[in-house]
Amino acid sequence: MYIVAKDGSGDFTSIQAAIDAIPMGNRAPTIVLVRMETYQERVIVNKDNVRIIGEARDRTIITHSGCAKDLNEEGQEKGTFLSYTFLVTGNNVEVENITIRNDAGDGRQVGQAVAVYAAGDRGTWRNVKMIACQDTLFCGPTMPKVARDALPRIIPEGVSSVGDCPPVWGRQYFEDCYIQGDVDFIFGPYRCWFENCTLFMNKRGGYYTAANTPEAMPHGMVFHRCRLTGECEAGAAYLGRPWRAYARTVFLHCDMDACVSPQGFQDWGEKPVTERCGEYATTGARADQSTRHPGQCRLTDEQAALLTLPEVIGGYDHWDPRHRTPTWFLCGDSTMCDYAPHEAPRTGWGQALKSLVSGVFVENCAMSGRSSKSFVAEKRLGMVELCLRKGDKLLIQFGHNDEKPDVERATAARVTYPEYLGMYIDAAREQGAEPILLTSIARRHFDENGQLKHTHGDYPQAMRDLAVQRGVKLIDMEKATEELLQTLGDEPSKRLFNWQEKGHPNYPDGEQDNTHLCLEGAVRLAQIALKLLKEAGVY
């Protein structure tokens, strides 16, 4: 997880810097968490498998003022496709809980001014505000003009204009979004599903949509259970107009207030409205179909029943953004966390866990030196909570640093320690995720008789008792690792920990570490954790 905060309290101070730091080719999504602030920057998401989450939608704002009439280096107008605030060319990109604006102003003065340019495939947008005037949201391929901005993305062969977009490209899903504009403010050739979104027409009035659906594509834009409203005069907002001859736009079970034109759709010059544009079961002040454009379709029950999300955007890979791959979020200390290459072979067991699971993503949020208390104080739990969704798991393992005497980290085993652990349990459950408690792994400390010493005091038992009290599954890593170390014995168990001879590239003075694991130990303990998780019915 990367945290973006303008005040320097995160990993980066700009969103683009965080995107640039994401390595190419990640299988699991990289989470970019954006703290509440206004970020005046243009953002290009050119990586696959990225999840961008704002701390609070109306207070986490990305804004830019690019417009079509801006001039390039040659003194020519840049045009629509270089006016964007937020460009996505990567696949499997999710954007949540954030506001994206283009503040260039009225299109009569500045021309088109795109807020969001969604060019990738399998894009998911949840609770996102998109605000502009003319051409707010474009869902279509990366245009040649944008090639330099999109690097290292390569422009698909054969695409020189929006009309060249083949039917198999580009699907976008929008849920609980707010999209504001005036002229053609949702436009493009991609297959898009809008679920429970609000479309807000500016005072100028205009067209909610301008689809450019390829002739061979059976589906274009589908709006399901959306609300069409605005601040324009009554009747000044049209459902859309056909950007190209085969525009496909359908409104299902949508509520339309008085700002919507009684005519519904409108012709665009010589491009007439056809039966590929239509409505079904719309409600509100403008639901009367008797005044609609004669060319648009009044869908039958049978036709509407066939317009499902899997049919419209499912595609060859049966994509369904409503069914997310669950994520395991790991909250813990240095025995669990990830380590950089220059610290190898030290490895957290949570770091090793990522390679051992399938069908789930592992987001290791554990941090070295943290206790259950300091992890909360640094607002790290709050950041994790923003990312949790129904079906996720929150794995909680603290204790090593709760035992420390310093006030920033110390908790009392039978008092404040369970109180802090309760915060993690509550955070998970409030988001529909499952909390799972894990006792600390054992340290490698043997007495003179070769018996392993217990070094965690009452903390593991306090966690066991809390698990019973709160009805939480418990993974007893202390017991399992004690049994492993005792079986191996004093000397052989060294190979599980970060014991290094002098002259090691990363530890030139040597290392005798009985707390932190090496790669072999991390893998071994991750395997034990996974076995216990399976036995508990978690995996």
| pLDDT at residue 289, as a whole number | 80
Categorise residue 23: left if φ over 0, alpha if ψ from -120 to 50, beta otherwise. Answer: beta
What is the mean pLDDT of the segment spanning 1-12? 95
For the cut 80, the answer to whether the pLDDT of residue 159 exceeds it is no
Specify the higher pLDDT residue, 134 or 316: 134
| pLDDT at residue 147, as a whole number | 80
β-strands 511-517, 497-500 pairing = antiparallel
With H, G, I as helix, E, B as strand and everything else as coil, classify residue 494: helix
The closest of 387, 411, 480 to 440, measured between CA atoms, is 480
| pLDDT at residue 92, as a whole number | 95
Cα torsion through 377, 383, 389, 391, rounded to 10: -50
**Local structure of residue 450 (DSSP, 8 states):** S
Q: Predicted confidence band at 12 (pLDDT cuts at 50, 70, 90)? A: very high
Q: What is the 3-state secondary structure (H, E, C) of 321-345?
A: CCCCCCEEEEEECCCCCCCCHHHCC
CATH of domain 2-181: 2.160.20.10
Active site residues: 334, 501, 516
What is the mean pLDDT of the segment spanning 356-373? 96
| Sequence-ordered strand ranges (E) for 196-326 | 198-201, 206-207, 209-211, 221-224, 227-230, 237-238, 249-252, 255-256, 277-280, 297-298
| pLDDT at residue 156, as a whole number | 65
For the cut 70, the answer to whether the pLDDT of residue 282 exceeds it is yes
Could you give the percent of the chain with pLDDT greater than 90?
91
| pLDDT at residue 165, as a whole number | 65
Q: CB within 8 A of 203, min separation 6: which ones?
A: 182, 230, 231, 232
| pLDDT at residue 168, as a whole number | 59
| pLDDT at residue 167, as a whole number | 60
Within 10 A of 160 (CB to CB), how many other CB atoms are there?
10
Residues of the chain with CATH 3.40.50.1110: 327-535
**Local structure of residue 524 (DSSP, 8 states):** H
Q: Residue 406 burial (CB < 10 Å; 0-12/13-18/19+)?
A: exposed
What is the mean pLDDT of the segment spanning 169-173? 91
Would you report the helix, strand and coil content of the chain in percent, each value rounded to 5? Answer: 25, 25, 50
With H, G, I as helix, E, B as strand and everything else as coil, classify residue 162: helix
The closest of 140, 213, 210, 147 to 170, measured between CA atoms, is 140
Q: Residue 43 burial (CB < 10 Å; 0-12/13-18/19+)?
A: buried
Helices 477-488 and 519-535 meet at what angle, rounded to 10? Answer: 130
Tens of pLDDT, residues 69-79: 999 989 999 99
Round to whole Å and give the CA distance between 299 and 315.
Answer: 23
Tens of pLDDT, residues 324-341: 899 999 999 999 999 999
What is the mean pLDDT of the segment spanning 451-467? 97
Tell me the average pLDDT of the chain. 95
| Tokens describing residue 515 | 């707390």
Instruction: State the Rg of the chain over Cα.
Output: 27
- 327-535 belongs to which homologous superfamily? SGNH hydrolase (3.40.50.1110)
| pLDDT at residue 502, as a whole number | 96
Round to whole Å and give the CA distance between 122 and 232.
Answer: 33
For the cut 90, the answer to whether the pLDDT of residue 290 exceeds it is no
Tens of pLDDT, residues 108-147: 999 999 999 999 999 999 999 999 999 999 999 988 888 8
Round to whole Å and give the CA distance between 297 and 409.
Answer: 65
Q: Predicted confidence band at 25 (pLDDT cuts at 50, 70, 90)? A: confident
What is the mean pLDDT of the segment spanning 378-406? 96
Tokens 């700009």 belong to 14
| pLDDT at residue 28, as a whole number | 82
